[in-house]
Amino acid sequence: MPRTLYRKLVESHTVARLDAEHVLLYADLHIMNEYTSPQAFNGLVERGVGVLRPDQQMSVVDHVIPTRPDPVGKRVIVIDAAARQASNFTRNCERYGIKLFDVNDPLQGIEHVVAPESGLIRPGMVVLCGDSHTTTYGAFGALGFGIGTSEIEHVLATQTLSYRLAQTMRIHIDSALPAGTTAKDLVLCLIAKISAQGARGYAVEYTGEAIRTLSIEARMTLCNMTVEAGARAVLVEPDDKTFAYLRTRRGNLSEAQMEAAITVWRTLRTDAGAQFDSEITLCAAEVAPYVTWGTSPDQAIPVDGRIPAPTDGANNVESAATARALDYTGLAAGARIEGTPIDYVFIGSCTNGRIEDLRAAAAMLRDGMRVAPSVRAMIVPGSGAVRAQAEQEGLSEIFIKAGFEWRQPGCSMCLAMNDDVLRPGERCASTTNRNFEGRQGRDSRTHLMSPAMAAAAAIAGCITDIRNWEHHDV
């Protein structure tokens, strides 16, 4: 029978069939952070169990770490609870011999940025992590998904997971994105169209011309945020772009081994005639720059659109959600989102903290441009490697001259689990993945958008349409 890529990956990693809906799944790589792993390590100690395969674990301190521009080697976590969390994590990793990108490691960064750039993610792998945005690795044709704390403990002890099989969905995206739009706009548009529950329970595979034209980093953005539509996994068939990216990050593979691996990776594709449980088609040419207006990623509109009213809802639940979101964000139904004043700009996160994202943001900044006096703007690179490359390319100088804060790597204001927090009522143009109530600080207001849109908003002092920026060849 013809098989989907998802089925191939699951079947190649199935240790045992548990019942009609569950398998025991083998994990090639398990990634941890200091936030979701402490209870798992405590469980191992209480049971007197060790870590089965330490070499197939990777750890990063990223959620609670401050991003102040302190020199590498002198970063200190000053919040007591966070400092204890990080130090306990360090001790646990040392105890079990697990590789850790610690607070003052020059390559420290966000787990979903560090792992790919370190060459740890390859097509055909199963990658697990106690973080929902592990779907990022689908950009390489790897099956990545988030797991809970009890599951982390099980993976550490056995390198396996009891896994419930997902239904399959193909999202085919024709054409190519128009000038001025990005993978971030594409995924916000998609989520707005199908809702935050539109892919719930599905393993999604992206296909089509639009996907083939995206860079690997853009595909990571797309796969990263598709979880906001409820997807359990997200996949893109590996291709020559994938292999070119991996050739520069092949680690200990020789040239001959790399070519042999690519030969195998080329077989990782959905067979002709394979059936999906659901199909969605979208035209990329119709996608505009998108911005969220509410408190869920699916509450998004084109930047030249108008904010919906509760009466526009398809049902009572949707109408009530719209009313609540408008009350929280302080926006008026029927008003234009473009021109909405902002207080803060945040460019970073596992969604948009890679070097291509920083290049896109810097490209918006012409000599002499300055961050609006009413705005505080920060750039937080996704990793130490991204930060170093941005400095080498002169991007950091562009940001600093324009009045942006040039910070150290970390999750930072994506989830305000550190000292980068919005004050109540502050409105932020953000390149992150979630705009939930209080996500960036109590009573804060978040508008998700692309790095280019966020950089432009910092200069304009409000949400603005970059397609109207005459100086920029969008």
CATH number at residue 243: 3.40.1060.10
Task: Please report the pLDDT score of residue 313 as a whole number.
Answer: 86
In a domain, 311, yes or no: yes
The answer to whether residues 317 and 397 belong to one domain is yes
Residues 294, 247: one domain? no
> How large is the C-alpha radius of gyration of the chain?
22
Confidence of residue 73 (pLDDT cuts 50, 70, 90): confident
High-pLDDT (> 70) share of the chain, %: 99
Q: What's the pLDDT band for 80 if we cut at 50, 70, 90?
A: very high
Q: Give the model's pLDDT for residue 473.
A: 46
Q: What is the dihedral of CA 241, 244, 249, 255, to 10 degrees?
A: 140
- Residue 473 domain flag: no
The residue out of 286, 312, 339 marking a domain boundary is 286
Q: Please answer whether residues 398 and 365 qualify as being in contact, where contact means their C-beta atoms are separated by less than 8 angstroms.
A: yes
- Co-location of 234 and 337 in the same domain: no
Structure tokens at 256: 């001959």
Pairing of strands 300-302, 290-292: antiparallel
On whether both 11 and 52 belong to a single domain, the answer is: yes
Of the candidates 286, 312, 330, which is a domain's last residue?
286
Q: Greater confidence, 474 or 396?
A: 396
pLDDT at residue 471 above 80? no
The enclosing domain of 77 has a CATH number of 3.30.499.10
Q: Per DSSP, what are the bridge partners of residue 154?
A: none
Cα-based distances in Å from 275 to 6, 168, 410 = 11, 8, 40
Domain count, the chain: 3
Contact (Cβ atoms closer than 8 angstroms) between residue 350 and residue 433: yes
Q: Is residue 28 part of a domain?
A: yes
CA 227 vs CA 373, 399, 413, 416: distances in Å: 36, 31, 19, 20
Q: Where among 286, 307, 325 does a domain terminate?
A: 286
Mean pLDDT of the chain: 96
Is 80 exceeded by the pLDDT of residue 130? Answer: yes
Across the range 415-423, mean pLDDT stands at 93
**Are 328 and 368 in the same domain?**
yes
Beta strands of 355-436 (E only): which ranges?
376-379, 405-406, 427-430
Q: How many other CB atoms are found less than 10 A from the CB of residue 420?
A: 25
Confidence of residue 470 (pLDDT cuts 50, 70, 90): low
* Phi, psi angle pair for 440, to nearest 5°: -105, 15
138 is a domain residue? yes
Q: What's the whole-model pTM score?
A: 0.97
Domain-embedded: residue 474: no
Contact 383, 409 (CB under 8 A): yes
pLDDT tens-digit readout, 421-454: 999 999 999 999 999 999 999 999 999 999 999 9
Domain annotation covers residue 419:
yes
Res. 77: pLDDT tops 50: yes
Task: Say if residue 359 is in the same domain as residue 420.
Answer: yes
pLDDT in the model for residue 474: 43
Is the same domain home to 177 and 158?
A: no
Residue 34 lies in a domain: yes
Separation of alpha carbons 464 and 345, rounded Å: 13
| Tokens matching residue 288 | 């505009």
Is residue 15 located within the same domain as residue 36? Answer: yes
For the cut 60, the answer to whether the pLDDT of residue 472 exceeds it is no
Give residue 381's domain range: 290-468
Burial class (CB in 10 A: 0-12, 13-18, 19+), 231: buried
Q: What tokens does 431 get?
A: 């390149």
CA distance 108 to 115: 10
Rounded CA-CA distance 91/58 in Å is: 14
The pLDDT > 90 percentage for the chain reads 95
Same domain, 85 and 148: yes
Confidence of residue 469 (pLDDT cuts 50, 70, 90): confident
Q: Are strands 376-379 and 344-347 parallel, antiparallel or unpaired?
A: parallel
pLDDT (tens digit per residue) in 260-299: 999 999 999 999 999 999 999 999 999 999 999 999 999 9
Query: Are 105 and 245 contained in the same domain?
Result: no
134 and 24 share one domain: yes
Q: Does residue 229 fall inside a structural domain? A: yes
Query: Do 193 and 74 fall into the same domain?
Result: no
What are 85-99's pLDDT values in tens digits? 999 999 999 999 999
